Amino acid sequence: MMYLFFLTALFMGWSLGANDAANVFGAAVGTKMISFRSAALVSSVCVIAGAVLLGEGSSEGLNSLGNIDSLLAASIVLLSAGITVMLMTRLGLPVSTSQAIIGAIVASNLFFHEPLHLESVSKIALTWVYSPLLAFLISFALYAAIRWIINHMRIHLLMIDHYNRILLFIAGAAGAFALGANNIANVVGLFIFPFEKAQVTLLPFFPRLSTQLFFLGSLAIGAGIITFSKRVMITMGNSLFELYAVSAFVVVISSALVLLLFSSQSLSQFLQHRGLPSFPLIPVSQSQSSVGAVLGIAAARKGWHSIRRGLLLKIAAGWVATPLGAALITYVSFSFLSLFIDL
Amino acid sequence: MKLFTGKNKMLMSNIDSFLQLIGDSSTYFHKALESYLSSDENTFTEYLKKVSVIEHEADELLKKVKHDLYAFMLIPDTRADVFRFINDLDNIIDSSKQLLVQLSIQRPLFSPSLSDGIISLVTVNCESMKALIETASVFFRQPSLVENRALAVIRCEEKVDAIGERIEREIFSLESSYSLSEKMQLSQFNRQICSLSDLAEDIARDLIIFALKRMV
């Protein structure tokens, strides 16, 4: 039965792979710089590497909100978050799976009268503001630097194109690694505690249970990339790359760096040892980071006044609507189920 | 994976060769007209042949450039602009060759004073082509300089217009030994030579816009 519940996590992984991989390799595939086959292979390998090597940090951050010890509850939380993401996408909001899951966990804690870690909640909520803001700053600085190089170094247009292709490939691989490292928590993070409690071993060649789950979750993401991301990649790649070749690289690498900053335990420890404020290790939204990066380019190209307030309001609306929506759906689901079964 | 195959370098070299051909055709066109006006039949035929060869080579290069741009998806955001102005440059070579061919067929008679005017017209035309090639080259490396270089092409076209008008007036004030049909024929050649500079000016103005679009 527990494996049946785990299918919800695998479904979430598949969905993440089908949709979010387009953010990292869309530009490269859309322009046929590399074939979809190569992109799918590279991004799947990098997603798995990121999840297995760096997935621990963001998963611990997610579980700091409160451990969900029942597999059924974990599945309901994931499903509710998934439904919220689907509804918000239909409304055209830059929705975040991470925010939906966090809203759903909070609702689960409220339903089961578990203590709510307000400090963790507020820390996580702040990352929703930090992540697009950081992406904005990184892309602003990076774009300005690239513009200076192009305008002053007299590089031939075709050589710029050549370098940009190589950089897009590297950025795509880094983006896939960061996606695996940061977003694997959304896929299997909630199942770590119930599986540990049940003392099961899924893949004996990995010593830790969490690593086993990360590997399986990232395989599901890889399956999503291979089976369903082609059309999304081509659509996204064409719309993003056709107009701004250099911008595509800046957006992908900026959002990848942001995701890595919120995933790397080594970086967090490095900053803490030096008495510097460290980034909380928590799954953050790649889509919202990408929007932040796009705004950073707009500001570098045309000045601060060019930033569309409507887009900022849309992101802010997502910060409120997504967790609240997920919380509501989770609470209603638990209430409905409690009429029939003992939760 | 077509990532490290150096298609960009090959295309770069093809575009440079193409621009070189434009420059050569302009020089040969100038020399062909000079020899025609000095009734040096053999030299004229020789340069006509050279322009024809260049026209053929330019067509072949254009095909390669078009193929590489689209088959290898190079410079996706600027390839339409690049292909458009290279195609327009090719039209200049085609028009130059056509003009020389028509000269060799129709054999119009230019009076000595008209010949001087035509020589200065073609000389300015040649300057205009050189300025255009420079504009096209900086478009690839320093788009911020395109406007400045394009202004030189536009100034040449203004000079060509002035010379062309003077020649036109001179043609129709020629003595009665020239029939109206002969005057119309001379006028047509004069206008065709002027139209080469018009083409160059149109391309230069397009390049200003394309450069603005590609500035990051």
Question: Is a pLDDT exceeding 60 seen at residue A239?
Answer: no
* Closest Cα in chain B to A169: B3
pLDDT of residue B25: 96
d(CA B191, nearest CA chain A) in Å: 36
pLDDT of residue A135: 93
Distant-in-sequence, close-in-space partners of B101: CB < 8 Å, separation ≥ 6: B48
Q: Which has the closest alpha carbon to A185: A44, A51, A45?
A: A51
* Closest Cα in chain A to B76: A242
d(CA B76, nearest CA chain A) in Å: 6
CB B194 within 8 A of CB B136: no
pLDDT of residue A94: 62
| Cα–Cα distance for residue pair A145/A200, rounded to 1 Å | 51
| Cα–Cα distance for residue pair B78/A245, rounded to 1 Å | 9
Q: Confidence class of residue A245 from pLDDT cuts 50, 70 and 90?
A: low
Residues of chain A found within 8 Å of residue B9, distances taken between Cβ atoms: 158-159, 162
**Residue A322 sits in which domain range?**
2-338
pLDDT of residue A238: 60
By Cβ distance, the residue of B3, B139, B215 closest to A33 is B3
Residues of chain B found within 8 Å of residue A156, distances taken between Cβ atoms: 12, 140-141
B2: contact with A, CB 8 A cutoff? yes
What is chain A's mean pLDDT, rounded? 85
| Cα–Cα distance for residue pair A35/A172, rounded to 1 Å | 13
Other CB atoms within 10 Å distance of the CB of residue B6: 11
B144: contact with A, CB 8 A cutoff? yes
| Cα–Cα distance for residue pair A64/A282, rounded to 1 Å | 10
**B171: its two tokens:** 């043609």
SS3 letters across chain A: CHHHHHHHHHHHHHHHHHHHHHHHHHHHHHCCCCCHHHHHHHHHHHHHHHHHHHHHHHHHHHHCCCCCCCHHHHHHHHHHHHHHHHHHHHCCCCCCHHHHHHHHHHHHHHHCCCCCCHHHHHHHHHHHHHHHHHHHHHHHHHHHHHHHHHHHCCCCHHHHHHHHHHHHHHHHHHHHHHHHHHHHHHHHHHHHHHHHHHCCCCCCCCCCHHHHHHHHHHHHHHHHHHHHCHHHHHHHHHHHHCCCHHHHHHHHHHHHHHHHHCCCHHHHHHHHHCCCCCCCCCCCCHHHHHHHHHHHHHHHHHCHHHCCHHHHHHHHHHHHHHHHHHHHHHHHHHHHHHCCCCC
Give tens-digit pLDDT for A108-160.
Answer: 989 998 887 788 888 888 888 889 899 999 999 999 999 888 888 888 989 88
d(CA B7, nearest CA chain A) in Å: 9
Q: How many domains does chain A have?
A: 1
| Cα–Cα distance for residue pair A43/B139, rounded to 1 Å | 36
Q: Confidence class of residue B191 from pLDDT cuts 50, 70 and 90?
A: very high
Q: Which has the closest alpha carbon to A129: A277, A316, A261, A281?
A: A316
Q: Confidence class of residue A26 from pLDDT cuts 50, 70 and 90?
A: confident
Position A117 in a domain? yes
Contact between chains at A154 and B78 (C-beta distance less than 8 A): no
pLDDT of residue A236: 62
By Cβ distance, the residue of B74, B82, B144 closest to A151 is B144
A155: contact with B, CB 8 A cutoff? yes
CB A241 within 8 A of CB B77: yes
Question: Is a pLDDT exceeding 90 seen at residue B202?
Answer: yes
Q: Which string of DSSP letters, residue by residue, matches B147-164? A: HHHHHHHHHHHHHHHHHH
pLDDT of residue B84: 93
* Dihedral sign of CA atoms B38, B44, B47, B48 in order: positive
Between residues B189 and A118, the one the model is more confident about: B189
Residue type, B143: P
Give tens-digit pLDDT for B5-41.
Answer: 578 889 999 999 999 999 999 999 999 999 999 999 9
B12: contact with A, CB 8 A cutoff? yes
Average pLDDT (B77-93) is 92
Rounded (5°) CA angle A172-B8-B79: 85
By Cβ distance, the residue of A31, A38, A161 closest to B8 is A161
Contact between chains at B76 and A245 (C-beta distance less than 8 A): yes
**Complete domains list, chain B, with CATH:** 7-214 (1.20.58.220)
Position A343 in a domain? no
Structure-token match 């997935």, residue found: A55
| Cα–Cα distance for residue pair B69/A244, rounded to 1 Å | 17
Question: Is a pLDDT exceeding 50 seen at residue A241?
Answer: no
Position A178 in a domain? yes
Q: Which has the closest alpha carbon to A300: A142, A140, A146, A136?
A: A140
Contact between chains at A147 and B73 (C-beta distance less than 8 A): no
What is chain B's mean pLDDT, rounded? 92
Position A176 in a domain? yes
Complex confidence, ipTM: 0.82
Burial of A38 (0-12, 13-18, 19+ CB in 10 A): middle
Instruction: Pick the residue of A158, A165, A169, A297 with the most B CBs within 10 A to test the interface with B by mutation.
Output: A158
| Cα–Cα distance for residue pair B87/B97, rounded to 1 Å | 16
At residue A94, φ and ψ (nearest 5 deg) are: -70, 85
Distant-in-sequence, close-in-space partners of B166: CB < 8 Å, separation ≥ 6: B117
Give tens-digit pLDDT for A204-235.
Answer: 888 889 999 999 999 999 999 998 888 777 76
Residue type, B98: Q
pLDDT of residue A302: 78
Question: Is a pLDDT exceeding 90 seen at residue A243?
Answer: no
| Cα–Cα distance for residue pair A280/A63, rounded to 1 Å | 13
| Cα–Cα distance for residue pair A229/B211, rounded to 1 Å | 35
Position A153 in a domain? yes
Burial of B159 (0-12, 13-18, 19+ CB in 10 A): middle
Question: Is a pLDDT exceeding 80 seen at residue A190?
Answer: yes
Question: Is a pLDDT exceeding 70 seen at residue B154?
Answer: yes
Average pLDDT (A100-112) is 90
d(CA B81, nearest CA chain A) in Å: 12
Q: Which has the closest alpha carbon to A209: A2, A64, A8?
A: A2
Question: Is a pLDDT exceeding 50 seen at residue A242?
Answer: no
Distant-in-sequence, close-in-space partners of A257: CB < 8 Å, separation ≥ 6: A135, A138, A174, A178
Average pLDDT (A76-105) is 83
B75: contact with A, CB 8 A cutoff? yes
Average pLDDT (A195-203) is 84
Q: What percent of chain A has pLDDT over 90?
A: 27
Position A301 in a domain? yes
CB A234 within 8 A of CB A27: no
Q: Lowest-confidence range among A220-234, A326-340, B142-156?
A: A220-234
